[in-house]
Amino acid sequence: MTKTILITGATSGIGKACAKKFAANGYRLIITGRRQEKLLSLKNELIQQYQSEVLDLCFDVQDKGQVDAQLSDLKSPWNNIDILLNNAGLALGRDSFEEASMHDWETMLQTNVNGLLYVSKTILPGMIARKKGHIINIGSIAGKEVYENGNVYCASKFAVDAISKSMRIDLLKHNIKVTAIHPGAVETEFSIVRYKGDEQKANATYNGFTPLTGEDIADTIFYTAQLPEHVCINELTITCAQQGSATNFFKKP
């Protein structure tokens, strides 16, 4: 039977790579994000390339009203969600605590933490009723180690780590698997967003080493979703071969 995955933040980076990976392997997809034109272009690509069944839903995960309106009344077969990939997220700025913008902090917490909670709460009742499901949350190495000027981005990803662990425990009784994936540096639109369009700063993030790609993370996520019923990967931290911690890189001159 065709399985269904809901991917938040599928318009670029890790989410987009996951959409392609799962589509290539016969999944039905619900893809979401705020940029309608990117969603439509991905939808067309998935239909043309893989003959996938795709539902595109354009909304902002920060807005509980929009999340409820888009997700709480899905019709069959879209309401039979086997996998929820909570991927939508962002970093804004890399400033010292006393200088960082409160608005940036609020946006990160509202997206990375509250957005993940809003989406999960709308999808969970269906999984509980069917007594199965898999929730995969994208955390970060920034949710494992705090680094200089990482402050509230790190806090938001520490929260994702804690939420994933508590989901795993509380949802055991419903036969719902929970996996947290914690990537190190992945070259996506992440740094362009973090540095607010400053491409020089964004590109400099990856100087001297070969970062992960969205496809690298998608391959691992896909693996965690294919394990036997009785096996659950609770969490994985994944870095490129030249990254040893949040801030330690072996850079080639």
Q: How far apart are the first and last CA of the chain?
A: 51
In whole angstroms, what separates CA 148 from the centre of its chain? 23
Question: Exactly one of 24, 25, 45, 60 binds ligand NDP (CB under 6 A); which one?
Answer: 60
Please check whether residue 90 is in contact with residue 66, taking contact to mean a CB–CB distance below 8 angstroms: no
Q: Which two tokens stand for residue 76?
A: 């069959």
Q: How far is CA 103 from CA 67, 75, 119, 232, in A?
A: 21, 36, 22, 37
For position 140 contacting ligand NDP by CB under 6 A, the verdict is yes
Applying CB under 6 A, the span of 41-49, 58-66, 218-226, 240-248 interacting with ligand NDP comes to: 58-66
Q: Using the minimum distance from each CB to ligand 8X3, give the nearer residue, 167 or 246.
A: 246
Is 13 an interacting residue with respect to ligand NDP (CB under 6 A)?
yes
The CA distance from 178 to 162, in Å, is: 12
Among candidate residues 27, 50, 118, 153, the one labeled active-site is: 153
93 binds ligand NDP (CB under 6 A): no
Q: Which of 3, 34, 144, 174 binds ligand NDP (CB under 6 A)?
A: 34
Non-local (6+) Cβ contacts of 55 within 8 A are: 29, 30, 31, 78
In the list ligand NDP, ligand 8X3, none, the entry touching 246 (Cβ below 5 to 8 angstroms by class) is ligand 8X3
When asked if residue 88 is in the footprint of ligand 8X3 (CB under 6 A), the reply is no
- Could you say which residues in the range 176-205 bind ligand NDP, by CB under 6 A? 183, 185-186, 188-190, 193
What is the amino acid identity at position 75?
K
Catalytic residue flag (residue 195)? no
The reply to whether 55 sits near ligand 8X3 by the rule CB under 6 A is no
Gap between the Cα atoms of 35 and 9, Å rounded: 9
User: Residue 189 touches which of ligand NDP, ligand 8X3, none (CB < 5 to 8 A by kind)?
Assistant: ligand NDP
CB closer to ligand 8X3, 133 vs 150: 150
Catalytic site positions? 153
* Interacting residues toward ligand NDP by CB under 6 A: 8-15, 33-35, 38, 60-62, 87-90, 111, 115, 138, 140, 183, 185-186, 188-190, 193, 214
* Interacting residues toward ligand 8X3 by CB under 6 A: 140-142, 150, 185, 246
